[in-house]
Structure 1
C-alpha cells in the first residue's frame, strides 16, 4: 500500500511538471523570406541582431514563432528579445521543442496574428557572454589582445530561409584570419557574408574570426545588492562587487614605471570605468578592504550621477578587485502608498560599466519591521531565496528580508521589479515610543538613585549648646 501511494504521488509530480513546462512545436507554415543579420563582436559581448521577414505560407493565422541558438552557444545565451515593425517590445518566453533538447528555444508572441500570405518584419536580438576567447591566452604588458570568435555562418533557425546575409562588426581593422565562404567582402572594421539563398532549417557552418580586441574584458563574478527601505524618507542602497579581468592573462612581470610613463603600455588592461547611479543619488561612498578609494570622480548630470571608478591598481588578465559602493535615494521617487499598502519599484541591478557581464547577482530588499503580505513581481525569471530577518537599532521582531538571485546578467536585464507589502501606519510610532520609553526609564532610575539613601548609618549632626 505504501509503494502504491508513493507511485501515485510520483506520477502526480511528473504530470504537474509536464503541465508547467513550456513545450512548443515547429510549424511548417512559417518561413523566413529574408534575414538580415548583424553580429557585433566589437566589445567583450556578442550581440546578434536579426531583421526577419516572416512569411505565413499556411491557411490559418499564426500567433507566434520560435527562435533558437545552437548547442555550442546554449550556455552563453544571456538575453533574447524581439520588437515588431513599430519598435514595440514583443513577449519572449523560453521554451522547449520535443526532439531538440540539445538547443535552446524562445517563443515570440506576436501582438497581432499573421494572416496567410502576410509578411511582417520582426527584429530579434540575442546577447551572448563569454563567447570571445583570448587567443593566445597569455600576453605581455606591451602586447595587444587577440581574441577568436567561433559561431555559425547561418542563423540557427527552425524554419526554411529563402535568403539571408550577415554583417560582422569588428573592433579594429587588424584581422589575423577569418572564414571565407563566397560571396563575402571585407571592409574597414567589418566583414559581409552573403546573400545565401535557400538555407535549410537548423543549418550550421563554422564562422571563425581571429582579430584584435583591446576592449575591457571585465566580468562581475558576484554582486550583492542590498536595498534598505525606510518610511522616514530614505532608501539606502549598497553593492558589494567582485570584478575579474577575464581577458588574456598577463605573462611576465608588471612594470609600474613603464605603465605610468607610456600611455600605450598595457593596451588590454583596465585603468578605470564608468558607473551610472540614479540622478537623485547622494552620500555616495566607494571603498575596499583598505578603506575609502579617493582615485575616483563624480559628475552630476541631468538624468544620472556618473562615477569614474579607478581601482587602486590597474586590472590585467586574471587580476581581481573587490569593493563596496553605496548611496542614498529619496523614498518618494520609488515608494508609492495607498493607505496601508505600499509599492516599491526599483531596479534588479544597476549599470556597473558599459557592455557589462555579470555571473551572478543577489538582490536583497530589507523592509520596515512589521511589513506583511509581501508579493514580488519580477520582469524575468529569477531564483527566489528563502526569506530572512534583519536586526538593526530599535528592532524587536526583526525586519523582513526578501532575496532573489539570477545568473548571466547583461545590460538588457536592467529593469524594474515591483514589490508590494502592507505596513500599518501606527507602527511608525514604534521607534519614537521606544526612544521615549527608554529615556523615561533612564530618568526615572536616575531620580530614584538620587533620592534614595544607601548609606549604612545616618550622619550625626553636632548638638548646639
Structure 2
C-alpha cells in the first residue's frame, strides 16, 4: 500500500472519528436552535422555590425541530419536584397556553454533569420559525439556613445558590434573571455586572450573546421566616366501602427543616413578645374535600382539641395546632382522619368498571413531603385494579385483612418522593366489582348469629343435673 493510500485512510478515519464524537457528545437539537430572549423569575418567598422561565426559541437549522431541551445542574436535578411547560401565544390578557409534555431524557450528561429535560412540541418548528415557551419548575430543599442554629429571639437567614446566567444547551441572545425575596432584608449577594436591587427584588442582566452552557455562580443571603414545614413521611390510607362512605386516614411525621433551635425554650417570652420565635410555626392549614364528616386529629398522647374546621360547598379547611410550637429541628407525629360521601368520589364507567377519583398529594398547605405513600383499600372481592396518575409514581399491590373478611382486600399502593402542593391533582383507581360480594358480610353475620342461636337453644335443652341412682 502506497503512502498516499495510507494518508487517505488516516484522513477518512479521523473524519469518521470526529463525527462519532460529535454525535455522542451533543444531541442534535443543540445545533438547530437558539434562544432569542430568555427571562427567569425566581420566587424565594417560601421554602419551596418556584422558577418561572419565559423563552423565545428560534430554529436556525435546516431541518425542522420537534423538541427543545432544558438544562439543569446536578444539584438542581436532584431537587426538582415539578417541571411544566406550555406554548404561549398572544399578548398579556389575551394570551393562550397549550400544555406540552416534559420528560427527563436519557441523553449523556452535558458539561459539568448537566442534566436534560425534553419538551415535546405539538408541531415541528420549521427553519426560521420561532415559538414562545413558558416553563415552571419547582425546587425543594434549596434554601440553606445560615447560621445553622439560632435562638428563640433571632430571625432566620438562608443562602440561595444559583447562576446569574441561565444554564442552557443553546446560545442565548438576550437574557435576564429576577429574584424575589420575602423581605427587604438581604445580608449580601453576589454582583455580576450588571446587577440591580430594588426593595425585595434582585435583577441580574440583561446579558447579551451568551454561548451555550454559560454559568456564573451567585449566592444570595437573605431573611426568610416562613414555615419550613417538611413531612418526612406521610401515609394516606383511602378505604372504600360500598355501603356509603370513604374513610381517609393520614399519618404524618412532620419536622421544621429550618435553622435548628438553640438554647432553652421560654413559653412566657413566646407568648408575650411578638417577635419571639418568628421562624417557628404553631398551626397548619389542611385543605380537605367538601362535605367531610367524622373529622379527628390526634397524636400519640390522644385526641387534640385545638383544631378548627370550616366547611363550604367547594372545600373544607382544617386549622390544626400541634401541642407545642415547632422550632427548627423539632418534630411532631400525628394522625388526621375523616370520612367523605361515597357518591362524591366513586363512579361507574359505561363498561361497569368502577373507579375512584381522588386528589393525590398532601392536603397541608405550603408543605414538602419527602416520602408519600397513598394506599387505596378496595372492597373485598375487587378484581383487576389499575391506577392512573398524571406523573410518575411507583405502584404495587398488597393485601389487607379487616373484620369479617374472608379473602382479604386488595390495596393499591402508590409511592412518590419530593412531593409539593402542585402534585395535588386528581388520580384514578379502576377496578371490577360484583355486587354479590356486598352480601358476603351480612350473610356471614347472619350465619354467626344463627349458629349462636342454635347453640343457645341446644344448651337450654340439655340436662346437666346429676340424676339419683335408684336403689334396689
TM-score by length of 2: 0.89
Q: Aligned partners of 1:149 and 1:267: how far apart in 2?
A: 20
Pair 1:448 & 2:451 matched: no
Whether the 8 Å CA contact 2:41–2:52 is kept in 1: the answer is yes
Give how far 1:87 is off. 2.2
Q: Does structure 1 residue 398 correspond to structure 2 residue 429?
A: no
Contact 2:29/2:65 (<8 A) preserved: no
In structure 2, the residue matched to 1:8 is: none
Moved more, 201-210 or 113-122: 113-122
Secondary structure of 1:291's aligned partner: coil
Task: From 148, 153, 165, give the equivalent of 1:142.
Answer: 153
- Supply the distance in 2 between the matched residues of 1:261 and 1:248 (Cα, whole angstroms): 22
Pairing of 1:303-382 with structure 2 (within 5 A): 303-338=314-349, 340-354=352-366, 356-382=367-393
For residues 236-288 of structure 1, the C-alpha deviation after alignment (integer angstroms, 9 at most, x for no partner) is: 11100011111111121111110011122111111212111011221111100
8 Å CA contact 2:109, 2:116 repeated in 1: no
- Superposition map of 1:413-424 within 5 A: 413-424=423-434
Match of 2:308 in 1: 297
Structure 1 residue aligned with 2:75: 72
1:157 aligns with 2:168: yes
Encode CA deviations 1:357-399: one digit per residue, 9 max, x unaligned. 11100111111111111112221111224x2211111101111
CA displacement at 1:178 relative to structure 2: 0.7
Moved over 6 A (4+): none
Partners of 1:288 and 1:308 in 2: CA distance: 15
Deviation of 1:351 (Å): 2.3
Deviations 1:146-185 (A, max 9, x none): 1111111111111111110111101100111111122222
Q: Distance in 2 between matches of 1:274 and 1:205?
A: 39
Q: What does 1:121-270 align with in structure 2 at a 5 Å threshold?
A: 121-270=132-281
Deviation of residue 145 (structure 1)?
A: 0.6
Matched, 1:282 2:285: no
Secondary structure at the counterpart of residue 27 of structure 1 = helix
Report deviation, 1:331.
Answer: 1.6
Could you tell me how far apart the structure 2 residues matched to 1:418 and 1:126 are?
Answer: 25
Quote the Cα distance in structure 2 between the aligned partners of 1:103 and 1:119: 25
Q: Tell me the distance in 2 between the aligned counterparts of 1:24 and 1:372.
A: 45
* 1:29 maps to 2:32: yes
2: distance between equivalents of 1:293 and 1:227?
22
Matches of 1:99 and 1:68 in 2, distance apart? 10
For residues 163 and 459 of structure 1, the distance between their equivalents in structure 2, rounded to whole angstroms, comes to 116
Whether the 8 Å contact between 1:250 and 1:316 is mirrored in structure 2 is yes
Deviation at 1:27, TM superposition (A): 3.3
Secondary structure, counterpart of 1:437 in structure 2: helix
Partners of 2:362 and 2:369 within 8 A in 1: no
Deviations 1:118-155 (A, max 9, x none): 22211011111111101111111101111111111111
Structure 1 residue 108, shift from structure 2 partner: 0.9
Which of 402, 407, 420 is equivalent to 2:417?
Answer: 407
Query: Structure 2: which 5+ runs fail to align?
Result: 1-25, 89-95
2:448 pairs with one of 432, 438, 444 = 438
Q: What is the aligned residue count?
A: 436
Q: 1:165 to 1:337 in 2, by over 3 A?
A: same
| Cα distance, 1:457 vs structure 2 | 2.1
RMSD (CA atoms): 1.8
Residue 391 of structure 2 is aligned to residue 388 of structure 1: no
Which moved further from structure 2: 140-149 or 109-118? 109-118
Q: Name the CA distance, whole Å, in 1 between partners of 2:347 and 2:307.
A: 34
Distance 1:330 1:138, change over 3 A: same
Deviates more, 1:112-121 or 1:171-180: 112-121
Q: TM-score scaled to structure 1, two decimals?
A: 0.90
Change beyond 3 A, Cα 1:225–1:42? same
Consecutive unaligned residues in structure 1, runs of 5 or more: 1-22, 461-465
CA drift of 1:407 comes to 0.8
Separation in 1, partners of 2:355, 2:411 = 15
